[in-house]
């Protein structure tokens, strides 16, 4: 067992430097989580890496990579209604995949407790948008905690798990990219050493677990009642705190206050560290439901209040409505520029907002001098030796020579980079699994421009199958290229259903055959002439055709080889002692 794994599962309290994602795993163990599930997606994959670092025989919980986020959420839900504390984690847009089931969670009695960990991505560091999942908490009637540091992520997970078990209702824990990846010295607690209780506790009488037609209304009333009870607790929660690092003296006769949460709260404290003005900060650790009485007391104690949040005007809209209803006289200041609703709220960007709002306290800074020479942008590239490179090179040449007006549709994965120079393959991109459905739409009554869609093997299993079934059923005149590299490469080489790391292999050609796809060809992506010929025949085929361009992810291949050599060397040294 690695030193890292030994630290993570050490029963006794200890203090150490830990990444936010890794600290969550320790919080899971201390909370008594029994089932954890995920589908990998940045910024949360390291949570799974830390779980996998613990050998299965000593790991005190069940963990799985599910085939997509919806399945992961449903497995965690099933474990919870069976009496086991569970957690599911995925990236921001992963919640979209799980949303059909997530919308029912508040009406279900999750008797074991359940924490849904979200990795939101302000700045779109690794996502196709800046989706703000604070909206989803309100839409689904589920409480939401928002840590701003790794230590808060650790403490708030434990608090969220305890709340969930107390009210039999799932709780959202919303992380953002830099909370996931920052490191902080954390004082960890004790991990229970008692044997896990795996006795099934499912009982329909705990429900009903049947939200349909008229039965919805009692369940929805119960969800509202739970939220109201949580709202009372939130009023006195220590996770909502008032900070006044410079004292509370008025600035030019005005008492100034800021309401904020998460990472923006610490950006605010960093700005306050650079001035002497007294500006109070109400830092919210629980952002849904809001502590209304505490908010009103804070606002009424000030002449002007600024709401500081990343992305959408979620807190701002609700707090303004609250202030209006209670005839608050304090001025509530707002963001006025569209650019302020985008990207991460760094201390520098926040300073600009503060200097626009309160120039006496936060004087405008001189514009930074322009760089003497602009640095040329560096396009992301696929790894040296990647089979996708070879495949795209061959496909680009074929299309340029024989099908110059072809339409190419991309999907999510390493192969998304094929849309960039020099390949320029895949000019439409939305979300995981969309390529076949979008391609089918582009192919309808289109006899003049061939349509070629791309999908990776992990995405094939994750979200690609419904559209593939649809294309086979309707025999859309579409060519699908499956780029198979036997791993979930873009997020760190997690297993797929087809590489055997999670159990039996579910092979793509067998799946396609079972779905009734008439044209299926498979070739190593390095064999470019064969790939071209297969693609040429696929485009000529009247209807749906699939070409599988396969080659192992070379980065994973080399890392696995180095690992095997290191293990062999270690074994040889041990044998010679």
Give the mean model confidence (pLDDT) for residues 30-34.
97
DSSP string, 262-290: HHHHHHHHHHHTT----EEEEEESEEES-
Same domain, 106 and 179: yes
Confidence of residue 128 (pLDDT cuts 50, 70, 90): confident
Contact 62, 36 (CB under 8 A): yes
pLDDT in tens, 420-445: 888 888 989 988 889 999 999 999 99
Looking up residue 402, the CATH number of its domain turns out to be 3.40.50.970
The domain boundary, picked from 235, 255, 289, lies at 235
Residue 464 is given by DSSP the state: I
Question: Which residue, of 204, 235, 266, is where some domain finishes?
Answer: 235
* 103 in the same domain as 203: yes
Q: Is residue 571 part of a domain?
A: no
Is residue 565 in some structural domain? no
Number of domains in the chain: 3
- pLDDT-derived band at 155 (thresholds 50, 70, 90) equals very high
In a domain, 367, yes or no: no
Residues 48 and 197 in one domain: yes
Same domain? For 141 and 198 the reply is yes
* Residues 191 and 225 occupy one common structural domain: yes
Q: Is residue 53 part of a domain?
A: yes
- 214 lies in a domain? yes
Q: Are residues 428 and 530 in the same domain?
A: yes
434 and 351 part of one domain? no
Does 452 lie in the same domain as 312? Answer: no
Residue 258: closest CA among 187, 332, 165, 313: 332
Instruction: Tell me what pLDDT residue 371 has.
Output: 58
**Calpha distance 508→522 (Å, rounded):** 10
| Residue 221 within any structural domain of the chain | yes
Tens of pLDDT, residue by residue over 503-515, are 788 899 999 999 9
Domain annotation covers residue 543: yes
Q: CA 54 to CA 22: how far, in whole Å?
A: 12
Same domain, 451 and 415: yes
Tell whether omega for the bond before 443 is within 30 degrees of 0, i.e. cis: no
Together in a domain, 179 and 98: yes
Please compute the mean of the pLDDT values over residues 310-338 and round it to a whole number.
Answer: 90
Question: Which ranges of 444-577 does DSSP label H, i.e. alpha helix?
Answer: 457-459, 465-474, 508-514, 528-540, 554-576
> Which tens digit of pLDDT belongs to each residue from 238-251?
999 999 998 888 88
d(Cα 259, Cα 333) in Å, to the nearest integer?
Answer: 11
* CA dist., res. 559 & res. 551, Å (int): 15
- Mark which of 183, 211, 235 sits at the end of a domain: 235
pLDDT(571) > 80: no
Residues 79, 228, single domain; the answer is yes
**527 forms bridges with which residues in the sheet?**
none
State the DSSP string of 531-543: HHHHHHHHHHSSS
Task: Label residue 73 exposed, middle or buried (CB < 10 Å: 0-12, 13-18, 19+).
Answer: buried
Q: Classify residue 480 as exposed, middle or buried by CB count within 10 Å of its CB (0-12, 13-18, 19+).
A: buried
Q: What is the pTM of this model?
A: 0.88
Q: What is the CATH number of the domain that holds 284?
A: 3.40.50.920
- Collapse the DSSP code of 251 into the 3-class scheme (helix H, G, I; strand E, B; otherwise coil) and give the result: strand
Residues 231 and 245 in one domain: no
Instruction: Find the domain containing 430 and state its range.
Output: 387-558
Question: Residue ranges of the alpha helices (H) in 387-477?
Answer: 387-402, 434-443, 457-459, 465-474
pLDDT of res. 270: 94
In a domain, 346, yes or no: yes
Q: How confident is residue 366, by pLDDT bands cut at 50, 70 and 90?
A: low
């Amino acid at each position: 067992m690695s030193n890292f794994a030994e630290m993570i599962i050490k029963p006794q309290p200890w203090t150490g430097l830990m990444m936010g994602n890794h600290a969550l795993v320790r919080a899971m163990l201390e909370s008594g989580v029994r089932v954890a599930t995920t589908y990998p997606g940045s910024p949360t994959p390291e949570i799974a890496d830390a779980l996998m670092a613990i050998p299965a025989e000593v790991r005190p919980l069940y963990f799985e990579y599910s085939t997509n986020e919806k399945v992961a959420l449903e497995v965690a839900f099933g474990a919870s209604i069976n009496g086991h504390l569970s957690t599911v984690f995925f990236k921001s847009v992963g919640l979209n995949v799980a949303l059909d089931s997530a919308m029912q969670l508040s009406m279900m009695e999750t008797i074991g407790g359940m924490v849904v960990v979200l990795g939101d991505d302000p700045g779109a560091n690794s996502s196709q948008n800046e989706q703000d999942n604070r909206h989803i908490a309100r839409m689904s009637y589920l409480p939401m905690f928002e840590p701003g540091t790794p230590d808060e992520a650790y403490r708030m997970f434990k608090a969220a798990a305890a709340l969930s078990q107390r009210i039999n209702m799932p709780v959202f824990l919303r992380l953002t990219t830099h909370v996931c990846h920052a490191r902080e010295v954390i004082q960890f607690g004790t991990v229970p050493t008692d044997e896990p209780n795996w006795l099934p506790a499912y009982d329909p009488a705990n429900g009903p677990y049947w939200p349909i037609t008229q039965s919805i209304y009692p369940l929805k009333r119960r969800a509202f009642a739970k939220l109201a009870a949580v709202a009372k607790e939130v009023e006195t929660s220590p996770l909502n705190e008032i900070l006044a690092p410079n004292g509370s003296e008025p600035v030019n006769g005005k008492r100034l206050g800021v309401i904020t949460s998460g990472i923006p709260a610490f950006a605010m404290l960093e700005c306050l560290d650079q001035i002497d003005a007294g500006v109070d900060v109400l830092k919210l650790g629980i952002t849904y439901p809001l502590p209304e009485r505490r908010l009103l007391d804070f606002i009424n104690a000030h002449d002007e209040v600024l709401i500081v949040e990343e992305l959408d005007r979620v807190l701002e809209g609700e707090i303004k409505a609250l202030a209006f209803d209670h005839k608050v006289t304090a001025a509530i200041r707002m963001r006025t520029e569209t650019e302020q609703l985008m990207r991460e709220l760094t201390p520098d960007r926040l300073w600009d907002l503060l200097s626009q709002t309160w120039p006496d306290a936060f004087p405008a800074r001189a514009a930074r001098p322009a760089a003497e020479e602009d640095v040329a942008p560096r396009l992301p590239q696929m790894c040296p030796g990647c089979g996708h490179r070879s495949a795209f090179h061959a496909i680009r040449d074929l299309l340029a020579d024989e099908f110059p007006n072809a339409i190419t549709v991309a999907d999510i994965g390493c192969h998304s980079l094929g849309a960039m120079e020099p390949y320029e393959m895949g000019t439409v991109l939305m979300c995981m699994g969309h390529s076949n459905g979008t391609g089918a739409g582009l192919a309808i009554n289109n006899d003049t421009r061939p349509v070629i869609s791309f999908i990776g093997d992990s995405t094939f299993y994750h979200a690609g199958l419904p559209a593939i079934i649809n294309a086979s059923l309707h025999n859309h005149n579409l060519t699908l290229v499956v780029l198979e590299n036997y791993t979930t490469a873009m997020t760190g080489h997690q297993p797929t259903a087809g590489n055997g790391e999670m159990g039996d292999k579910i092979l793509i050609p067998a799946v396609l055959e079972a779905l009734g796809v008439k044209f299926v060809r498979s070739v190593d992506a390095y064999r470019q002439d064969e790939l071209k010929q297969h693609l040429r025949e696929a485009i000529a085929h009247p209807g749906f055709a699939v070409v599988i361009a396969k080659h192992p992810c070379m980065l994973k291949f080399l890392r696995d080889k180095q690992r095997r050599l290191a293990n062999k060397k270690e074994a040889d040294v041990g044998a010679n002692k």
